[in-house]
Amino acid sequence: MIVVGVVFLGFADTAYPAPYNLHGAPVASFAWSPLVPRIGDPITLTSTSRDLGSRIVRYAWDFADNGPFGAFEEGGPVAGASFATPAPHVVRLRVTAADGLSDIAAETITMTPPPASARVMYPFPTVRIRGRDLRRGVRITQLAVRAPAGARINVACRSRRCPARSASRTATAKRGGATWVTFRRFHRFLPAGLTLQVRVSRNREIGSYTLFRVRRRKLPIRTDSCLDPSGVKPIACPSA
């Protein structure tokens, strides 16, 4: 809501501010079904956005939490998605009204965890890559991994113009918890043709694998999957 005026209603010596807006911006919101999906389940997302002052004319969905680049794909008030990993997934919706005003809603979709017998790392890692799309590559502003205690995180870079061939760190969260580990070495311009591989492994468990490929004059491609217990090869994640 854009507050453009305040009315004061005086009673005795007390003034009570009552904010109002002459032309309100839209309020973005959405719901999804099923509420706690399994890996690979089709998910239906439905906008519940509203605007009292103007008609909503554009909907844009973000399923990868990428920030500015690749973030919002034009669509309608209803969208479909599915996720290949048991990590929590942030989904964003940007709505734009006929008057040009817009608003963004963000929600986290929690997945049904695989059975304990599958030996999948828990909490399952979350890989966040954010940046800005440029003509000849991307400028990364955040490369961070949320992983449980003891997880080994390796970022491998494939290109002659890599800022580093690889970087590895171990998550030091408290037992049973998870922490964010940031790789600032890659917070810079990355040229087209460069590929990042993010592997998260621990104690012969099934971990996570993210492939991020930068393209010329196109949005980057990102693929998420699980990592085999040896910590080397990407595999399909076991479902619940």
pLDDT digits (tens, 9 = 90+) for 182-193: 999 999 999 999
Give how far the C-alpha of residue 129 lies from the chain's centroid of Cα atoms, to the nearest Å: 8
List phi, psi (to 5°) of 227: -120, 135
Residue 22 backbone class (left: φ over 0; alpha: ψ -120 to 50; beta: rest)? alpha
pLDDT digits (tens, 9 = 90+) for 154-176: 999 999 999 999 999 999 987 77
Q: What percent of the chain has pLDDT over 70?
A: 90
The CATH code of domain 116-235 reads: 2.60.40
Domain boundaries, the chain: 30-109, 116-235
pTM (2 d.p.) = 0.84
Q: How far apart are CA 7 and CA 19, in angstroms?
A: 6
Does 8 or 96 have the greater pLDDT score?
Answer: 96
Q: Which residues of 99-123 are buried (b: 16+ CB within 10 A; e: fewer)?
A: eebbbebeeebebebbeeeeebbeb
Q: Which of 132, 135, 127, 126 is closest to 187 using CA atoms?
A: 132
Centre a 10 Å sphere on the Cβ of residue 178 and count the other Cβ atoms it contains. Answer: 20
pLDDT digits (tens, 9 = 90+) for 54-102: 999 999 999 987 777 767 888 999 999 999 999 999 999 999 999 999 9
Q: Which pLDDT belongs to residue 68?
A: 74
Q: Based on C-alpha coordinates, what's the Rg of the chain?
A: 22
* Mean confidence (pLDDT) of the chain: 89
Using the predicted structure, report yes or no on whether residue 151 has a pLDDT greater than 50. yes
Task: State the amino acid at position 163 in one-letter form.
Answer: P
| Same topology between domain 30-109 and domain 116-235 | yes
pLDDT digits (tens, 9 = 90+) for 11-59: 333 343 333 334 578 999 999 999 999 999 999 999 999 998 899 999 9
| SS3 label, residue 200 | strand
Q: Which pLDDT belongs to residue 69?
A: 74
pLDDT digits (tens, 9 = 90+) for 108-118: 999 999 999 99
Q: Which pLDDT belongs to residue 23?
A: 57
Q: How far apart are CA 230 and CA 52, in angstroms?
A: 55
* Range 30-109 has CATH code 3.40.1160.10: no
Q: How far apart are CA 192 and CA 190, in angstroms?
A: 7
Q: Which pLDDT belongs to residue 20?
A: 38
